[in-house]
Amino acid sequence: MSWKHLFQRAFAAAPERLHFAAHSHHLWPDASFVGQLAAWQDAVRLADRKWDRVLSEIWPAAQRYVAAELSLPDPATIVFAPNTHDLLLRIVSALPRRPLKILASDGEFHSFRRQSLRWEEAGSVTVDRVPMEQLLEAAQRGGHDLIFASHVQFGTGLVFEGLEALAALASPEGPWVVIDGYHGFMSVETDMSAIADRTFYLAGGYKYAMAGEGAAFLHAPPGYGARPEITGWYAEFDDLSLPPGIVGYAPDAQRFMGSTFDPSGIYRFVAVRDMLRHEGLTTAAISAHVDGLRAKLLAELPIEAALVNPGSPARFVALRSPKAAAWQAMLAEEEIITDVRGDVLRIGFGLYQDAPDVDRLIEALGYCARRG
């Protein structure tokens, strides 16, 4: 079945483009335009009073959608921010000890990699970086204040299978466990119900949630990080009556909020989730569609490359070859969009592709192979 009708604006904007980078910058469905327009219309219609609607209707709707997707028991543990980096800074600022000792995999995304390296330069933290397959064993040896791990690694698509075992190590006194779900949220079915009380989870709308920028979120377990040092005035929104000089915090995930923000990303997220609900499209249903496209590509793959993530439920294939960058450039010449990480060509799948699209990609890859 084809779901292209949900993306007509994106197709009209670039008719010749064949976009196989849903894992990198997912095309926006038409519903996101509806959400964006609603944000603008509320801003001009309600002016100052738009925040009543944002915080009493749009924000809670988004919280409920995230909680339902992750099987979280309480939507109030969800807080939104412009990006996950902002939320990471607030988490780290809430940890009581300095310098911090952090454990992470050696395949984390650029944002965490760069920030953690800079913290090391400044002497604020020490970081132990290990391969994903060694992370749980290293965590069980103890001695860390923060354990940071991607559910699905952005470069390879490898999935970390030890979430519950890692969460079992967490406590409010430390270590804290932070799961980066950016490549897992709405891509890999994720049930957080058993570990929601002791694990942070970061993700956002930019990838498979199809909502674009500005809709990052954090699940913050109760009892962890009551008073982040990096904080904005929205974090004490429930305590605006406090006397001057007292820094108050909301009792729920709002304690991790910053200050005034652009709510349009959250509008888009809600509109896209409304669309998926109307169409009967769950993460499992989308994954089934993607699985068929991925299987077709791998069955007919015309290039010689090593599949880095065989059997992975991630919605992209990672193909290792010294020719990866050259292939990506050749495909781009044909208006076929993929991406490359070092010597790994990444090809991502989404709702807006169908079998004829994969046929065109296979034909183009065969051309790449012939060109060398």
Structure-token pair, residue 232: 């904005």
Structure-token pair, residue 85: 């980096």
Q: How confident is the model at residue 229, as a pLDDT?
A: 96
Count Cβ neighbours within 10 Å for each residue of 131-164 and write b for 16 or more, e otherwise. Answer: ebeebbebbeeeebbbbbbbbbbbbbbbbbebbe
Q: How confident is the model at residue 33, as a pLDDT?
A: 98
CA distances for 32 relative to 36, 77, 285, angstroms: 6, 25, 20
Tell me the β-bridge partners of 159: 152
Q: How confident is the model at residue 371, as a pLDDT?
A: 87
Q: How confident is the model at residue 154, as a pLDDT?
A: 83
Ordered by where they begin, the domains of the chain are 4-30+282-371 (3.90.1150.10), 32-276 (3.40.640.10)
Structure-token pair, residue 166: 């890692």
**Could you give the CA distance from residue 267 to residue 247 in angstroms, rounded to a whole number?**
30
Structure-token pair, residue 181: 């779900």
Amino acid at 71: S
Residue closest to 107 by CA, chosen among 92, 129, 87, 126: 129
Q: Tokens 């809709």, residue?
A: 215
- Any idea what DSSP says for residue 174? S
Residue closest to 62 by CA, chosen among 261, 251, 240: 261
Cβ neighbourhood burial of 40 (10 Å; 0-12, 13-18, 19+): exposed
Helical residues (DSSP H) of the chain, grouped into ranges: 8-13, 30-46, 50-53, 59-70, 84-94, 110-122, 132-140, 163-167, 264-279, 283-299, 324-333, 355-371
- Conformation bin of residue 73: beta by default, left when phi > 0, alpha when psi is -120 to 50: alpha
**Could you give the CA distance from residue 30 to residue 226 in angstroms, rounded to a whole number?**
39
Q: How confident is the model at residue 190, as a pLDDT?
A: 96
Contact 268, 256 (CB under 8 A): no
Q: How confident is the model at residue 158, as a pLDDT?
A: 86
- DSSP conformation letters of 257-298: --SS--THHHHHHHHHHHHHHHHT--HHHHHHHHHHHHHHHH
Residue closest to 216 by CA, chosen among 201, 202, 204: 204
Mean pLDDT per block of 10 residues along the chain (372 residues) reads 94 97 94 98 97 97 98 98 97 93 92 94 95 95 96 87 96 96 94 97 95 97 96 78 79 95 98 98 96 96 94 90 96 96 94 96 94 79
**Could you give the CA distance from residue 176 to residue 95 in angstroms, rounded to a whole number?**
9
Give the global pTM.
Answer: 0.95
- DSSP-based three-state secondary structure for 178: strand
Tell me the β-bridge partners of 105: 130
